Structure 1
Amino acid sequence: MKRIAPLAVLLSSLVVVLGMAPATAAGLDRSDVAAQQAKGERVVRVETGALRGRDAHGTWTFDDIPYAAPPVGALRWSPPQPAAAWSGARDATRPGNRAWQAKDNGFGLLPVDLNPGRTPQPMSEDSLDLNVRTPGGTDRPVLVWIHGGSFTGGSGAAYDTTKLAAKGIVVVTINYRLGALGFLADPALDPQGTGGDYGLQDQQAALRWVQRNIASFGGDPHRVTIAGESAGGISVAAHLVAPGSRGLFSAAILESGDASSTVPLAKAREASETFVTKTLGVPNGPDRAASLRALGAKEITDKQDQLTYPIPLGHLNYSQKPWLVSGGSVLPEDPATAIRAGRAARVPVLTGTNKDEMRILGFLVAKSGPVTSASYGDYLDFMGGPAALVHYPLVPGAQPPVALGAALTDGWVGDVRDQALALSRRAPVYAYEFADRAPALPGATFDLGAYHTAELPYLFGVADLPVRLTADQQRLSRQMVDYWANFVRTGNPNGIRTATTWPTLPAAVSFGNGATTIDSTFLADHQWDFWSTQRRP
């Protein structure tokens, strides 16, 4: 039986329906509210004050809402603290800052800016905010989107959530601390042994804010789905097992998110100490933490390329800038281990990968050197191991970056499917493969296929992926949005239909060629038999 919300929650939801805030909200009176509505704006009240949002495509948006205090000064590299209250109606009609990052390019990792004509969103450490788009009404299901970007780039405001909100869903996008400012594991900053993971703690603070405040926007705090792609999907996997995330959501969506992508605390601390001492020039001693907090944010993020965590990406080797750390109190256990052991939250899961996930690697490594016939073996041997090099020889006439991408994709998506199968032992899991030939990225010199991130424009408008969908792709987009919306509403992408068009695992669906089909060749297509013998425990 569905729980009944407290009276205060019901009253705050009624405020949204009537289109006005309480007369006493932050000093506002009814004439103030009426004036705002006449300008196409709406005022709602949250725990820290009143917010003035705007009408957008038949929904209401409220941007730049602080969910925690700015992590500056003594609060840098500290757990998120409560946001301060304000008086009057805060302007929530425009996005705020993106978290400080090394590049203005939203994904923080591509060799080219995919949308150089846009005005870059300002960067600041004062960025712990979120954005809400609501269709109004009451008891609406809620989707909380955690952006990707390799834990070093991106922002919540880069995602236009119109498509999903139009389906009657309240959609929240969040910012969190990134890079060395979000995931530095130096012991001087963490005497309690949390493991750092300040960015993950930010996400938890945002989820707690949603529980306390989302009813003011018409959302149901008992029906919250957390979702994310890439680093966002990895974050969702972490929330499935993190103690501080329990009870904050009722379903989860992982797009291209592998739970094994964490670095052990001891390795993270070793790498962080070396980075702080040798790269930032801050010596050990009683003033180490204070000296670090006195450095400029740009100085830290500009040098964070030299902070490298060795990551076992499932069976693949990888070196990455600051990343999720497991082994501290925030994330005590590697999520992959916990999921295999049945210790994940028992909630419905929608999860999948893209058919050509790792082809984009050939695009990314252009920064350090292209994938050629000469370098193909080195890349594959390092990331996949000698057996992979034997199993995937570079055949005459093949494009090296395409061949490398195919081999590494097989290993990556196999790990994600293993993760899904483990989760399916405790709760329903719905799996997909996105296989549509997505619009090409500017600057690509070879066919990227259904590359990593390619599904995003089918679900959102994405400022950092300014691509145009064909008529067939738009039709597929509508199908996918319907499935995602059904899942957020019911925990089942089929919704309340009597006919099941998307079965649970081990079956899966494929989104490609403008249509949705049942996937029957996934395991064979991705060399499951080979990679299953290569998996690490």
Structure 2
Amino acid sequence: MLAFIALLALCSVYLSTVAAQAAVELDYGTFIGVEDSTTGVTSFKGVRFAEPPTGEFRWKAPVFPPTTQLGTVNASAFGNACIPVPQSTVVAGTSEDCLFANVYIPSGAISNSSLPVMVWFHGGGFQTGNSRANAIPLMQAAPSPGMIFVSFEYRLGQFGFLAGSTFAVANGSLNAGMLDQRTGLQWVQKYISSFGGDPTQVTIWGESAGAGATMFHLIANGGDQEGLFRASMGDSSSLSFMPDFDSDYLDGVFDLFASSAGCSSSSDIMACLTAADANIIASAGTQVLKNRTSTLFVFAPCIDGSFLATRPVEAFASGAFSQVPVLFGSNTDEGANWSAELPNPAANTSEPNATETTVYNFLAGQWPTLSNASFTAALELYPLTDYDNSLSLQGQQMYGEARYICTGMMIAAAATRQGFNSFQYHYDNPDQGSDHGADLTGLFDSASGFSGNDSALFVAMQQYWASFVTAQDPNATDAAAWTTVTNSTSGGPRILLHPGALAMENVTDAQAARCAFWHSISAEIST
């Protein structure tokens, strides 16, 4: 009998120990995570990191730290994603109340583990996407004792990036979606140690708009990262049109949005918009996109005069950015298929009657201030004969380099000029594709699901990315050594991520010249 009682006591201690490993107590709630013995990862999903940005807090900076006491929270399922554009109604799984984090830790991590932290910002043009990434392959690739992976939701589209003179005068928070991200980084500083993380070892990472976001965090506040991160990574950083908050362009977007929401005739337009049902706000954003038939992403970060006061090209040229190690890069076919998505045939280079004017219309839809003179100059650098006389391929290369490829080169070169370790990559995979976003297959999917050279490439990529987080130096077992950038103009050399051909390569003079051109007209096109 005594032995049985002792066994019960032992089991009780064991169960409480397991429960303690899967529970984290913060000052506003206790979060119960899920420990997966198969993967060796414990997850905490749907962790609120700020007060809901609803009601009077719509279009306001997030309220942090959270003030509402949550009690015990079952953190086994993702929280609501932020409402994307175009989504005309609030559907299940999305909500204005969406400021949630997901935290993945090595099972057995305790509050004093002091593990490095990777923070992920999702892509989607600041209009779509969510934080539900598969962190397991990267976590398993991290050198012992491992790392922590955190992802954040942030407000999208008209909920996160509405601007204009009327909006600003009414004290709407400009770039609210970026402020959500910044608040997420503040949450990490305050609370990640409770999950076993080290707040001094945070690396921010994102893809597409998420990589654009890591770029913006580098230049925010004049380059003061406020101790929020020690390194930055970006896959296909987006160099989008970035007008002043009170520009005619953004005033026009706001007016169209307010009209679509039924508030343009109100004596207090912002009060009307703030009081409107979320379904009306969602529908109005969709109507704006339907009206801008040549533009891929209408809602995006703008120059707000404070948090983002300088555009990227100027900031990186002048050295006014956070002085931290960086890892940035892009894919071969970044510009593929974008024009074909546009409903305006005059800007769709896939149309059978397309001309070079169509290519210009496509580019001008993304950078509305691009002049015909600058486009004509660009044609000299992108002769049609270099692209099999295909207007679609010509426009693809122009867009891919101007928006994504040249941005990574710019950031890598700038960090090198400032004396910080800088790494650049070029993803080129004919097996799985090299379009925009294709590299994420090699980072978030299990390499065991692929064979041969693809599997080996993806194993190496996951190790490179994870080791940059843990040691600020991308290394992989039995793979090419990834060396730092030494050319402070082109951002080369860079590693070629190609199945069966992992190696360092130089940036060609021709590509460097094309990128220099796009950055030389940054004042004209507001980049």
Q: Does 1:132 align with 2:103?
A: yes
Q: Is the 8 A contact 1:238 1:331 kept in 2?
A: yes
Question: Counterpart of 2:338 in 1: which secondary structure?
Answer: helix
SS at match of 1:240: helix
Is the partner of 1:332 in helix, strand or coil? coil
Identity of aligned residues (%): 26
Decide which moves more: 409-418 or 216-225: 409-418
502, 505, 508: which is aligned to 1:516? 502
Residues 100 and 193 (structure 1), Cα distance of their counterparts in 2 relative to 1, 3 Å cut: same
The amino acid that maps onto 1:95 is F
Within a 5 Å distance, the mapping from 1:28-427 to structure 2 comes to 42-56=22-36, 57-82=39-64, 83-103=66-86, 122-135=93-106, 136-137=108-109, 138-157=113-132, 159-166=133-140, 167=142, 168-191=146-169, 196-243=174-221, 245-259=225-239, 261-267=241-247, 269-283=250-264, 287-305=268-286, 307=288, 320-365=297-342, 369=348, 371-382=350-361, 383=363, 385-389=375-379, 391-393=382-384, 400-412=391-403, 413-426=405-418, 427=420
Q: How far apart, CA to CA, are the structure 2 residues paired with 1:259 and 1:424?
A: 20
Counterparts of 1:356 and 1:491 in 2: how far apart (Å)? 28
Amino acid corresponding to residue 102 of structure 1 in structure 2: V
Partner residue in 2 for 1:11: none
Residue correspondences, number: 473
Separation in structure 2 between the aligned mates of residue 395 and residue 215 of structure 1, nearest angstrom: 54
* TM-score w.r.t. length of structure 2: 0.81
Quote the residue 2:6 is aligned against: none
Q: CA deviation at 1:438?
A: 5.1
Classify 1:531/1:251 alpha carbon distance in 2 versus 1 (closer, same or farther; 3 Å). Answer: closer
What stretches of structure 2 of length at least 5 have no aligned partner?
A: 1-9, 364-373, 488-492, 523-527
Identify the structure with the greater helix proportion: 2
Q: Distance between the aligned counterparts of 2:515 and 2:451, measured in 1?
A: 35
Match of residue 4 from structure 2: none
When residues 504 and 123 of structure 1 are mapped into structure 2, their CA distance, relative to the original with a 3 A threshold, is same
Would you tell me which structure has more strand in proportion to its own residues? 1
Q: Distance in 2 between matches of 1:395 and 1:177?
A: 41
The C-alpha deviation readout for 1:414-461, integer Å capped at 9, x for no partner, is: 34313321232112210111111253xxxxxxxxx4110010111114
For residue 469 of structure 2, what is the aligned residue in structure 1? 488
Asked if structure 2 preserves the Cα contact closer than 8 Å seen for 1:161 and 1:461, the reply is no
Q: Give the Cα separation in 1 of the matches to 2:333 and 2:219.
A: 28
Report the equivalent of 1:475.
Answer: 456
Q: Structure 1 258/424 Cα, relative in aligned 2: closer, same or farther at 3 Å?
A: farther
- Partner deviation per Cα, 1:3-37 (whole Å, 9 max, x = no partner): xxxxxxxxxxxxxxxxxxxxxxxxxxx99997576
In structure 2, relative to structure 1, the CA distance for the partners of 1:33 and 1:134 (3 Å cut) is farther
CA contact (8 A) 1:494 1:502 kept: no
C-alpha distance 476-319 of structure 1, shift in aligned 2 (>3 A): closer
